Structure 1
Amino acid sequence: MMNSLLKEVGRGKRGSRDLTYDESVQAAELILNGAATPAQIGAFLIAERIKMSSPEEIKAFIDVCRSKSKIHPIPGGLDCAGPYDGRKKSFYSTLPTAFVLCASGVPVTLHSSPSLPPKNGLTLYDLLKGLEVASEQLDITSLLKAAEQTGFLFIPTEKWCHPLAQLRPIRTELGMRTLLNTVEKLLRLSDAPFMTLGIYHGTIIDKVVEVLRRTSVEKGLVIQGLEGSDDISVERITRVHWVTKEETTQLIIDPEVMELQVHYPDIQWSLKHQCDIILSVLQGKADLPYINTVLLNAGVRIWLCGNARSIEEGIYQAKYIIDNGYALQKFSLWKNLVQNNTSKKVIISLQ
């Protein structure tokens, strides 16, 4: 069966065709169930990359992945989906921004896995280690308990969707971006009604927008942000796509209009540097490029979720939260909760 599907997508630029939704479900089941061989999986992913996946194909893989994943709905939450291949050249503002939002009353879900090709940069996994949270030891129960008390949920995606973990060796060997790089960002394992989604290549914007409209997301923003993330730059104008089931609108976010525009310094981003700046932002002590990035992104996300009437009002809320230490309190509470829950489980398991 896999060979017949491969023939349809692998006939070259002119001879190949998009699979129907049902055919794509069949392909996804064969791949995610382990029925397809590594050679067939690699061939399929490369053929899809050359052909360029259709919205139906992307949606089918999302649906099959979700059917094999743990889902934990969080009402009123925001899912922030950045690249799973990490960062190398920009500040990871989405992490401190998440705690600003939680302090504003918006539950936030971030998700990640250990780094993947093509970038092989720093991921949220690495950041949590650098912030002295043992990301490999975080079990589902500890993360859910911490989320209940703080509003912040971190999802180690490959632990919640085991088939993706099994595909990691093939993806690593291929060494390039594939259909799965888009799929894993759109799994929405907390069923959040709001979403920000970062994309790397502008060529896929229309397809991702169409896929997002077919989900249960009420309001979403598709952003070609820093290094393909959903983080909006304070150095330049960013075009984003506002997405609901009824409409899609392109918006321009200009940091100069928000009085937040500033140039980023040219620096080498190490794990320690990322973590130091994240903590300095939460403490309200960061340099302008970093504090302004968090203010802008928090303001946009607070507005997206309906907790502010405008982006400007969202920015004012974010500044108040940081200045008064509420974001730092949220982070400290979350860190203590996950560490305590995890250490207790380790002690019990050793007895």
Structure 2
Amino acid sequence: MDTAPPTIAPYLREIGRGKEGARSLSRAQATDLMARLLDGRVSDLEKGGFALAMRIKGETPEELAGFMDAVEPRTLALSAPAAAVVLPSYNGARKLPNLTPLLAALLAREGVPVLVHGFAEDPTRVTSAQVFDALGWPTAGDADGAARAWAAGQPVFMPLEALHPSLAALLKLRAVLGLRNPGHTLAKLLPAVPGAVRVVNHTHPEYALSLSEFLGQTGATALLLRGTEGEPVADARRLPALKAFVRGRLDDALSVEAQGGTLASLPELPPEIDPAGTAHTIRRMLAGELPLPAPIERQCRVLLALRQRI
């Protein structure tokens, strides 16, 4: 049984010994450490030490599970009218149109309550929030706002600052340190709506294994994929592997292999990636004036099937 130390210094000594010498925390220790960070019970210097140490060491699935044990109960309480789908949108578009809102709309028109959460703005990328705004779709600052959007059959965007203020503050350390910390991974794993299907995306192949272990340890129902520029939507040009987890177990029947071989041609995507241009493209796709990207349609079908397993 772990005994909580009076400060986080003992934890920093464990995780701060460099990539080869660092030791991992137990789930209980990770929970205690993250609770102190989220509740503001550590100094700015300790926060920086934590972020740098974890960036060098990397977090284990057990540590992620412990961190999430502290993060989840501090999340804004949301209640959806039916099983929801949660899309964490934290990277935005840099080279390709941000089609996370398109996926949200495809699910919503099937009667699914959809929550997209992330940052409202990014100085270097086009965020889902900006595309939502260009489409005239709702942004919610509280639980009532989300409930109204879902009652109207609309997908809703919620800033992380509203959904989980203390986690948002942890992510903002990146602006000071120039490095990500476990808060960024936790935001993408956040079970923001009880009983929802989560889309979990990774940008680097090595994360696929650790995130699979995390989903298994925590009994999650989720869809894991390599996202498009870090967004939780399938690449419109080529279908990535879609790994479906049902209560922590990989479901081979629902999962989809990555599209293989050489494509004879690449689907054409409009060159505009700004919010107005992306919104125009999404409207045309939803109206049938442009073809829906087949990989995103497939992702939508898998998510609809996953909801039936909850």
Q: Does TM-score exceed 0.5, indicating one fold? A: yes
For residues 192 and 167 of structure 1, the distance between their equivalents in structure 2, rounded to whole angstroms, comes to 25
For residues 164 and 251 of structure 1, the distance between their equivalents in structure 2, rounded to whole angstroms, comes to 32
**Are positions 1:104 and 2:107 aligned together?**
no
What does the per-residue CA deviation read over 1:162-217, in whole Å, with 9 as the maximum and x for residues that have no partner? 21233354222223332111101111111234222111111111111122223353
For residues 85 and 246 of structure 1, the distance between their equivalents in structure 2, rounded to whole angstroms, comes to 26
What does the per-residue CA deviation read over 1:132-187, in whole Å, with 9 as the maximum and x for residues that have no partner? 4574x744322222213316343322212121233354222223332111101111
Q: Which has the higher helix share?
A: 1
Tell me by how many angstroms 1:24 deviates: 0.7
Unmatched 5+ stretches in structure 1: 308-351
What does the per-residue CA deviation read over 1:31-64, in whole Å, with 9 as the maximum and x for residues that have no partner? 1111212222122112112111011211222221
Tell me by how many angstroms 1:115 deviates: 4.2
**Are positions 1:223 and 2:231 aligned together?**
no
Q: Which residue of 2 aligns with 1:163?
A: 166
Superposed, 1:312-327 pairs within 5 Å as none
Identity %: 22
For residues 92 and 19 of structure 2, the distance between their equivalents in structure 1, rounded to whole angstroms, comes to 30
- C-alpha contact 1:30 1:36 (8 A) present in aligned 2: yes
**Are positions 1:68 and 2:74 aligned together?**
yes
Over the aligned positions, Cα root-mean-square deviation in angstroms equals 2.9
Tell me by how many angstroms 1:268 deviates: 5.4
What TM-score comes out, normalization by structure 2 length?
0.84
Unmatched 5+ stretches in structure 2: 1-6
- C-alpha contact 2:8 2:33 (8 A) present in aligned 1: yes
For residues 247 and 73 of structure 1, the distance between their equivalents in structure 2, rounded to whole angstroms, comes to 25
For residues 19 and 203 of structure 1, the distance between their equivalents in structure 2, rounded to whole angstroms, comes to 20
Q: Which residue of 2 aligns with 1:196?
A: 199
Q: Which residue of 1 aligns with 2:189?
A: 186
For residues 143 and 247 of structure 1, the distance between their equivalents in structure 2, rounded to whole angstroms, comes to 30
Superposed, 1:10-49 pairs within 5 Å as 10-49=16-55
What does the per-residue CA deviation read over 1:50-97, in whole Å, with 9 as the maximum and x for residues that have no partner? 111011211222221222121223342222234x13221222222122
Q: 1:267 to 1:43 in 2, by over 3 A?
A: farther
For residues 138 and 247 of structure 2, the distance between their equivalents in structure 1, rounded to whole angstroms, comes to 39
**Are positions 1:51 and 2:57 aligned together?**
yes
Equivalent position to 1:121, from 105, 110, 125: 125
For residues 29 and 288 of structure 2, the distance between their equivalents in structure 1, rounded to whole angstroms, comes to 52
Tell me by how many angstroms 1:278 deviates: 1.7
- C-alpha contact 1:54 1:207 (8 A) present in aligned 2: yes
Q: Which letter does structure 2 place at the counterpart of 1:247?
A: R
For residues 245 and 138 of structure 2, the distance between their equivalents in structure 1, rounded to whole angstroms, comes to 36
Q: Which residue of 1 aligns with 2:151?
A: 148
- C-alpha contact 2:132 2:157 (8 A) present in aligned 1: no
Tell me by how many angstroms 1:234 deviates: 4.0
For residues 47 and 72 of structure 1, the distance between their equivalents in structure 2, rounded to whole angstroms, comes to 33
What TM-score comes out, normalization by structure 1 length?
0.75
Q: Which residue of 1 aligns with 2:9?
A: 3
SS for the counterpart of 2:256 is strand
For residues 32 and 69 of structure 2, the distance between their equivalents in structure 1, rounded to whole angstroms, comes to 11
Equivalent position to 2:277, from 273, 284, 308: 273
SS for the counterpart of 1:34 is coil
For residues 72 and 164 of structure 2, the distance between their equivalents in structure 1, rounded to whole angstroms, comes to 8
SS for the counterpart of 2:109 is helix
**Are positions 1:254 and 2:256 aligned together?**
no
**Are positions 1:131 and 2:135 aligned together?**
yes
**Are positions 1:81 and 2:112 aligned together?**
no
